[in-house]
C-alpha cells in the first residue's frame, strides 16, 4: 500500500489555477505570446510574456496566494476547509 502525497496534489492545483489566470489574461492580448516563468530570489513565481505581460504570485502572511500583474489585475487564492483551492 502506498501513501498519497497530498502536498503534491495541492501544489498541482495551485499551479493550475495560477497558470490558468496567466494564460487567460495573456490570451486576451496576444494568443501567440511566449511566456517564461521562474522563482525569483524572494520565492515569488514570476511569469513574463514576450508581449510585455508580467504576473507575480507570492504568499501573504495568511498563507494566501496573491497574484498581481502589470495591468492592475489581482487574484487571491487559498484552500478552504474542504481542501478546495478557491480564488476570488
Residues 44-73 have pLDDT tens digits of: 999 999 999 999 999 999 999 999 999 999
pLDDT > 50? residue 17? yes
Count CB atoms within 10 A of the CB of residue 22: 22
Mean pLDDT taken over the chain: 81
DSSP readout, 35-55? EEEEE-TTS-EEEEETTS-EE
d(CA 36, CA 3): 33
Could you tell me if 49 and 34 are in contact, meaning their C-beta atoms sit under 8 angstroms apart? yes
Amino acid at each position: 500500500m502506498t501513501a498519497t502525497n497530498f502536498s503534491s496534489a495541492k501544489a498541482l492545483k495551485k499551479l493550475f489555477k495560477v497558470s490558468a489566470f496567466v494564460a487567460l489574461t495573456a490570451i486576451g492580448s496576444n494568443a501567440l505570446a511566449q511566456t517564461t516563468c521562474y522563482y525569483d530570489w524572494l520565492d515569488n513565481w514570476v511569469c513574463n510574456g514576450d508581449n510585455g505581460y508580467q504576473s507575480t504570485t507570492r504568499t501573504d502572511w495568511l498563507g494566501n496566494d496573491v497574484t498581481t500583474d502589470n495591468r492592475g489585475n489581482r487574484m487571491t487564492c487559498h484552500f478552504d476547509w474542504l481542501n478546495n483551492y478557491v480564488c476570488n
